[in-house]
Amino acid sequence: MRKWVLPDYVEDVLPPEAQRMEATRRALLDSFAAAGYALVNPPLIEHLEALLTGTGRDLEHNTFKLIDPLSGKLLGVRPDITPQVARIDATYSGSDASTPRRYCYAGEVLRAEASIGSSRALTQVGAELFGDATVNGDVEIVRLMIASAKAAGAAPLLLDCGHVGVFKALAQHYELSPKATQAADAALAAKSSTALSDIKSLSDEARQTLATLTTLFGPAKTVLQRARAALPRNATITAALDQLEAVATAITESGAQCSLDLADLPGLDYHTGLVFVAYLQGTTHVVARGGRYDGVGEAFTQGNARARPATGFSFVDLRALAEVTA
């Protein structure tokens, strides 16, 4: 009798684990619905250009590609659902760009590469708020993430937050070239002052300020105080720090802990403001990721003024979440 072997990093989910996953999914979606988020269910496959349009191009290396036998066109299997929700908002939300719209989703994603200890076939659950460019939208999203995680049994949480606007403002302030900006981003990710020293085009002042960013991590209140004292007087930086303060207050009021890291800049070309990762307190288990990505739907508006601000999050692996909440 032949023994069937699944592809690498792809697994069946068997009882009772599948039942736990379904209960967790239901708890999350019920929390979203109670907060006014409408469920959408985009397709598993799309034309490749739609999946990789705009900010979705960062996902190209992780996207399975295939030929549609009906049309002969190149299709992609989604590696992430957020760009699809952006397409839905741009296509179906009507002509009033000022009206905030709230969406949630739960569905399979497939990735060409696997993270360490992870599957390539994941169930992703998340929520997105379109049309609110203010910090109130970010506050709403972090509160929803904490409340829904708590409803699913994932508590207490630690949220590690950053804001890409701080680094982008510094890059503009010191007139960094695209190449220097990319190198500085990599150096900050490694928290390496040595790597910053290797960027010859940086002025001494720019290098010193960027090196300061690598030290600005830890409890939110302390980091904000130090950042306001150490960073250049700049309206964009001040606004970003004010937004982080409002988000940190909301996180604490929601019963979670908040830390900040101003050198952590995931998806610099994708995110435009707040970024955050949620962990179960006392562990390294990532529960959710999110942030602001105001440019996510712009490519779907074809130059129309309806390109809308957006903020949201996703529980990146429902199976892993169900496991730690069992």
Which residue has better confidence, 98 or 12?
Answer: 12
Which residue has better confidence, 91 or 297?
Answer: 91
Can you read off the two tokens belonging to residue 194?
């040595």
pTM of the full predicted structure?
0.94
The answer to whether the CB of 318 falls within 8 A of the CB of 106 is: yes
Q: Which range has the worst mean pLDDT, 90-104, 147-161, 244-258?
A: 90-104
Report how far residue 134's alpha carbon sits from residue 27's, in angstroms, rounded to the nearest whole number: 28
CA distance from start to end of the chain: 36
pLDDT digits (tens, 9 = 90+) for 158-200: 999 999 999 999 999 999 999 999 999 999 999 998 999 999 9
The answer to whether the CB of 115 falls within 8 A of the CB of 303 is: no
pLDDT value for 304 = 54
Domains, in order of start, for the chain: 9-154+310-326 (3.30.930.10), 157-280 (3.30.930.10)
Can you read off the two tokens belonging to residue 148?
């829904």
Peptide bond into 219 cis (omega under 30): no
At 55, the pLDDT band (50, 70, 90 cuts) reads low
pLDDT value for 305 = 46
- Which among 129, 200, 135, 214 has a CA at the least distance from the CA of 170? 214
- Which among 28, 40, 146 has a CA at the least distance from the CA of 103? 40
Report how far residue 159's alpha carbon sits from residue 139's, in angstroms, rounded to the nearest whole number: 13
Give the chain's mean pLDDT: 92
pLDDT at residue 257 tops 70: yes
Which residue has better confidence, 124 or 52?
Answer: 124
pLDDT value for 2 = 65
HEC profile of 231-295: CCCCHHHHHHHHHHHHHHHHHHHCCCEEEEECCCCCCCCCCCCEEEEEEECCCCCEEEEEEECCC
Task: Give the number of C-alpha atoms closer than 13 A to the C-alpha of residue 28, restricted to the C-beta side.
Answer: 32
- Tell me how long the chain is: 326
Residue type, 22: E
At 80, the pLDDT band (50, 70, 90 cuts) reads very high
